[in-house]
Homo-oligomer: A and B are copies of this chain.
Amino acid sequence: MRVLVYGAGQLAQMMYLAGAPLGIEVEAVDVSSDTVVHPVSKLPLDASLEQAIEAADALTVEFEHVPERLLEQAEKSNKLMPSMEAILVGADRVREKQLLETLQIPNCSHRIVTSLDELDACISALGDKLIIKASRDGYDGYGQWRLTSADQLEEIKQALDGLDLSAVPLVVEKMLSFERELSLIGVRSQNGDIKVYPIAENLHYQGQLHVSVAPAPKVDAALQQQAEDIFKRLADGMQYTGVLAVEMFQCGDQLLVNELAPRVHNSGHWTLTGSDTSQFENHLRAVTGLPLGDTGARSPAAMINIIGCGTFSRELLSIPGCHLHWYGKTVRDKRKMGHINLTAENYQMLGHKMQQLVAYVPGEAFPKLAEEAQKLSSWK
């Protein structure tokens, strides 16, 4: 079988590696040049995009910001999974909020803004602690502005001046006081079977994910169930096929959905060693019509992103249960270069292993590691 993935980054690479044992040949589309490439070597393959679409059993995406003309072409083949509509929900915060409202899924109080004049009304409605987000093409912390008091409004308006808000509206959210960021990764098959992984806890720094711990500590059955119910409503509501990531805030015992990612997700990389079936394998199983695999956690697991950094000691592999996933890219500031997966018998041991890891990596590139290591190792 063949699966064509739009996007040729690390997610396509990990899908390729998960597909090969299943006899699924994964090819990638470099969307900047419309060329079909090998997902690992990135070398061009001997097929035009049209030929590759024709030869594929399924088409899918590794990121939601695929040019719409390509998505339209893909959708026409009737082989695109998830659907173009679901992908655009992930690419456009207006569509995302509309879906959440339609499905009555709890999310942050917000307003859609298509003209700067409407910002004053947002303050009246939501208060003066706001996060203002571009509804499209905002990614990894770019395209966001924070308002922490009403007197910053003029400054923000100046920063936003010149944006075509009727074409790309803003989503203005009330800044939440939440305990932590969680995500649920799940998968839905073509015939509606659903399997979800345990919730992960995500630690961000400057808008980027740095560490995930799964199963998230201190998640009771009710919270896991709440997340699963949200997932089911979303996945069924979109008639979704494949892996879907749901990012949430925990406020007390309530979960508010923050963002959806219609694809395999960084906060699910722990599944490569922490679960019986990785998110990459399950995504491929779903889009090719194979039965879904087990999504239980084998043991506590942590995923630590390697961001903007290529120099660390490979001796980190001497930590038992430590695995490196290197993406083979040129080092650039803020670029996700790879990740490290750790598993351990319990959270305390996981914390100890993270403490060991601290010795092998430059601290400035891993700003959340030592703190989280300390927290887990003193776990009771």
Distance in Å: Cβ of A283 to nearest Cβ of chain B: 14
Select one of B17, B285, B318, B322 contacting A21, CB under 8 A.
B17
How far is it, in angstroms, between the C-alpha of A23 and the C-alpha of B291 when the chains are bound?
Answer: 31
A21–B325 CB distance below 8 A: yes
Question: Is A165 engaged at the interface, CB distance under 8 Å to the other chain?
Answer: no
Interface string of A284-322 (1 = CB under 8 A from B): 010000111110001000000000000000110110111
Q: A277, A291, A292 — which one has the most chain B CB atoms within 10 A of its CB? A: A291
| Tally of chain A residues near chain B (CB < 8 A) | 32
Q: Which residue of B lies closest to A291 (CB)?
A: B318
Instruction: Give the oligomeric copy count.
Output: 2
Also in contact, A317 and B294, with CB within 8 A (given A20-B40, A324-B23, A326-B22): no
A317 touches B290 (CB 8 A): yes
Contact A20 B22 (CB under 8 A): no
Cβ–Cβ < 8 Å partners of A2 in chain B: none
CA distance A196 to B271 in the complex (A): 25
Cross-interface CB contact of A273 among B276, B291, B328, cutoff 8 Å: B276
Q: Which residue of B lies closest to A285 (CB)?
A: B317
Task: Let me know if A83 is at the binding interface, CB within 8 A.
Answer: no
Query: Judging by beta carbons under 8 Å apart, are A276 and B321 in contact?
Result: yes
Asked whether, in the complex, the Cβ of B20 is within 8 Å of the Cβ of A276, the reply is no
Bound: A291/B321 CA distance, A: 12
The answer on a CB contact under 8 Å between A276 and B320 is yes
Q: Is A13 an interface residue (CB 8 A)?
A: yes
Across the interface, A23 reaches (CB within 8 A) one of B17, B328, B343, namely B328
List of B residues within 8 angstroms of A146 by Cβ: none
Query: A298–B273 Cα gap in the complex (Å)?
Result: 11
Q: Point out the residues of chain B lying under 8 angstroms from A13, CB to CB.
A: 20
Residues on the B chain within 8 Å of A317, using CB: 285, 290-291, 293
Q: Does A129 contact B (CB under 8 A)?
A: no
Would you call A352 an interface residue if the criterion is a C-beta within 8 Å of the partner chain's C-beta atoms? no
A323 touches B (CB below 8 Å): yes
Within 8 Å by CB of A22, from B21, B272, B324, lies B324
Residues of B within 8 A of A294 (CB): 320-321
Report A193 CB to chain B, min CB distance, Å. 9
The 6 A-B residue pairs whose C-beta atoms are closest, nearest first, are A291-B318, A23-B326, A294-B320, A21-B325, A291-B317, A290-B317
8 extra A-B contacts, CB within 8 A, seeds A23-B324, A276-B343, A293-B317 = A17-B20, A20-B328, A21-B326, A23-B328, A276-B321, A277-B323, A285-B317, A294-B321
A-B contact pairs, 28 of them (CB 8 A): A13-B20, A17-B17, A17-B21, A20-B40, A21-B272, A21-B324, A21-B325, A21-B326, A22-B324, A22-B326, A23-B326, A23-B328, A273-B276, A276-B321, A276-B343, A285-B317, A290-B314, A290-B317, A291-B314, A291-B315, A291-B317, A291-B318, A293-B317, A293-B320, A293-B322, A293-B323, A294-B320, A294-B321
